[in-house]
């Protein structure tokens, strides 16, 4: 069984072609395809509505989701006015990963190596006139400003995943508001594996925007947001399609034991590789090196280790516990089991 996660959907189609040539009877599940089908299943034949695609900048620029949605609309025979709005979530995945170029929890003033949205960025500019609408959270240095008076900031930097969500959802709604005869947002596809960890924040911001009143008392976004927006986690629909494919081929492992046999690992920089470029004082890749390594150059860049608190930020572990509690327990049990091998190393205890 192959689950193909590619922004362009090109890999999905190529995988199918390859398997047809090899005569291997292996189902291929496209992540984008599964998400598109699951999203459109909520639309009736003549229903109007807008679909927001909230994904990484690379995924949005590939147009993979939009093209697949339009293909599936035609296949499903949907005749309503279904509009698609895209928002590249620059910095959100990096904020969840605690990438230091996008978020630094120990910072209390703007930083030179910041790569996120700001007042003077080229593509993701924070609009001063929308500051009340963003409603950024400034507590505990979640926003970094070069002036004690927030209204007088000349430099401003996002410094929490929540504020990245705020910036991008307002940007999405502004894009919708300025479009011609926009339909209300019915579904929001989270086209990145990091984004489902922020569903709580997404719902909070959508509700704020739904009830936001302009200076004239008008609810300026109410007509753009359904009372209940369907937040689409593509992994749910991949799992559903995987289940049906396994069931059809009678491939379930009746003797499997997830609690006893599940193993969880994370890849970390291989500090023994002298070619790796790491942040000063940290065992992590520099941003430029992480995303700018030479194509087809084979090196042992990383090593694979069990999950532990030394390699995973506390906030990420808390997200696991809140959003995927059953998987969190499996991760914790496996990590603690490995800890016993190393004299019950306390850093491997997830509690």
Is the CA virtual torsion 136, 141, 144, 145 positive or negative? positive
Cβ contacts of 115 within 8 Å, gap of 6 or more: 91, 94, 101, 102, 287
SS3 344: coil
Q: Which ranges in the chain belong to alpha helices (H)?
A: 10-22, 31-40, 57-62, 64-76, 92-96, 131-134, 161-177, 199-210, 234-248, 258-261, 287-290, 314-323, 325-341
Taking alpha carbons only, the member of 245, 115, 87, 74 closest to residue 171 is: 87
Residue 65 is predicted with a pLDDT of: 96
Separation between Cα atoms, residue 98 and residue 318, nearest integer Å: 13
Residue 296 Ramachandran class (φ > 0 left, ψ -120 to 50 alpha, else beta): left
Residues of the chain with CATH 3.40.50.1860: 2-237
Strand partners, 125: 118
Beta-strand pair 82-88/49-55: parallel
Q: Could you write out the DSSP letters of every residue in 117-169?
A: -BTT-SSSBPPGGGHHHH----GGGSEEESSSSGGG-SSEEE-SHHHHHHHHH
pLDDT in tens, the chain (351 residues): 444 454 445 566 777 778 788 887 777 888 999 999 999 999 999 999 999 999 999 999 999 999 999 999 999 999 999 999 999 999 999 999 888 899 998 999 999 989 999 998 878 999 999 999 999 999 999 999 999 888 889 999 999 999 999 999 999 999 999 999 999 999 999 999 999 999 999 999 999 999 999 989 999 999 999 999 999 999 999 999 999 999 998 888 888 888 888 999 888 899 999 889 888 767 888 888 887 888 788 889 999 988 777 778 888 888 999 999 999 999 988 888 876 544 445 554 555
As a whole number of angstroms, the distance between CA 185 and CA 208 comes to: 14
Which CATH code for domain 2-237? Answer: 3.40.50.1860
Q: Write out pLDDT tens, residues 69-119.
A: 999 999 999 999 999 999 999 999 999 988 889 999 899 999 998 999 999
Nearest to 32 by CA among 74, 75, 77, 62: 62
Residue 233 CA to residue 199 CA, distance in Å, equals 9
pLDDT tens by residue, 205-255: 999 999 999 989 999 999 999 999 999 999 999 999 999 999 998 888 888
Q: Which tokens hold the place of 336?
A: 């603690």
Closest by CA to 182, choosing from 191, 170, 168, 172, is 172
């Amino acid at each position: 069984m192959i689950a193909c996660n590619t922004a362009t959907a090109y890999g999905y189609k190529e995988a199918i072609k390859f398997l047809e040539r090899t005569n291997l009877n292996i189902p291929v599940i496209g992540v984008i395809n599964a998400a598109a089908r699951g999203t459109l299943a909520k639309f009736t034949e003549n229903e109007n509505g807008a679909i927001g695609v909230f994904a990484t900048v690379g995924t949005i620029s590939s147009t993979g989701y939009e093209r697949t949605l339009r293909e599936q609309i035609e296949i499903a025979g949907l005749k309503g006015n279904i509009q698609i709005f895209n928002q590249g979530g620059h910095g959100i995945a990096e904020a969840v990963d605690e990438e230091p170029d996008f978020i630094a929890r120990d910072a209390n003033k703007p930083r030179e190596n910041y790569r996120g949205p700001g007042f003077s960025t080229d593509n993701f500019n924070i609009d001063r006139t929308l500051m009340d609408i963003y409603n950024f959270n400034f507590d505990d240095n979640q926003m970094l400003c070069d002036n004690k008076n927030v209204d007088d900031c000349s430099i401003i930097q996002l410094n929490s995943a929540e504020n990245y969500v705020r910036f991008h959802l307002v940007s999405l709604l502004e894009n919708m508001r300025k479009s011609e005869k926009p339909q209300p947002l019915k579904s929001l596809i989270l086209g990145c594996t990091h984004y489902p960890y922020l569903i709580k924040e997404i719902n909070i911001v959508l509700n704020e925007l739904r009830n936001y009143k302009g200076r004239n008392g008008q609810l300026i976004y109410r007509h753009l947001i359904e009372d209940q927006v369907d937040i689409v986690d593509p992994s749910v629909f991949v799992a559903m399609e995987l289940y049906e494919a396994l069931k059809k081929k009678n491939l379930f492992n009746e003797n499997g034991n997830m609690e006893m046999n599940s193993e969880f690992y994370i890849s970390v920089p291989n500090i023994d590789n002298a070619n790796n470029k790491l942040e000063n004082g940290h065992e992590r890749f520099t941003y430029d090196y992480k995303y700018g390594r030479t194509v087809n150059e084979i090196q042992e860049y990383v090593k694979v280790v069990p999950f532990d608190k030394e390699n995973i930020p506390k906030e990420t572990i808390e997200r696991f516990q809140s959003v995927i509690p059953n998987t969190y327990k499996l991760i914790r049990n496996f990590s603690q089991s490995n800890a016993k091998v190393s004299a019950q190393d306390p850093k491997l205890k997830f509690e």
